[in-house]
């Protein structure tokens, strides 16, 4: 059920094959685990349900049309999955940028910015965008939601609201 690693706010869930397939360095694995811990520390899994409910009406007005008026479990599940995916992406941008900025500052402070100090290293395919520097989850989510040109893709991640964040470090 978990493709990579995620947190439900109580612990870290992971797929052992994600870590054992040989695509991640030790530094990448440390980063992924730290990434999930920071999600828990920032309370992202607890904030997701509140944020998702706050956007139900906005999503329905923007993307729902007659399907939103009819409601029903299929539409509601599609809407939840789309909003969950966007929240996961917003949370990943926040956490990844926070960690990358921290480790870059640490290297600069040590006076060895180009050296390998054995620090965690973000996987190459993880989400990172400097424009979100210093922003909270809700702000990043709002920006990503406003940038949607069409119905958000609900096929990414598992979209399970009970899982909190599925941080999809392998391509999310």
Q: List per-residue pLDDT tens for the chain, 172 residues long.
A: 899 999 999 999 999 999 999 999 999 999 999 999 999 999 999 999 999 999 998 888 888 777 777 777 888 888 898 999 999 999 999 999 999 999 888 777 776 655 567 788 899 999 999 999 999 999 999 999 999 866 665 443 333 333 344 444 333 3
Q: What are phi and psi of 7, to 5 degrees?
A: -130, 145
Of the candidates 172, 93, 83, 79, the one whose C-alpha atom is nearest the C-alpha of residue 140 is: 93
CA 109 to chain centroid, in Å, comes to 29
Give bridge partners of residue 166 from the DSSP assignment.
6
- 3-class DSSP state of 158: coil
Q: What is the pTM of this model?
A: 0.80
Task: Tell me the two tokens of residue 72.
Answer: 């029903």
Rounded (10°) CA dihedral 152, 130, 37, 28? 100
Most distant pair of Cα atoms in the chain: their distance: 61
Residues 6+ apart with CB under 8 A from 103: 119, 120
């Amino acid at each position: 059920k978990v493709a990579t690693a995620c947190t439900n706010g109580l612990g870290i869930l992971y797929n052992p094959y994600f870590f054992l397939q040989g695509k991640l360095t030790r530094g990448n694995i440390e980063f992924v685990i730290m990434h999930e811990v920071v999600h828990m520390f920032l309370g992202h899994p607890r904030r997701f349900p509140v944020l998702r409910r706050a956007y139900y009406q906005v999503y329905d007005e923007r993307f729902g049309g007659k399907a939103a008026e009819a409601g029903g479990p299929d539409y509601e599940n599609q809407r939840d999955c789309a909003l969950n995916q966007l929240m996961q992406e917003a949370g990943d941008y926040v956490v990844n940028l926070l960690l990358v900025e921290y480790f870059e500052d640490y290297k600069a402070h040590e006076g060895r910015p180009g050296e390998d100090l054995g620090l965690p290293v973000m996987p190459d395919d993880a989400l990172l965008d400097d424009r979100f520097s210093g922003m909270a989850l809700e702000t990043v989510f709002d920006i990503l939601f406003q940038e949607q040109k069409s119905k958000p893709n609900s096929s990414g991640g598992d979209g399970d609201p009970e899982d909190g964040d599925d941080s999809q470090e392998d391509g999310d």
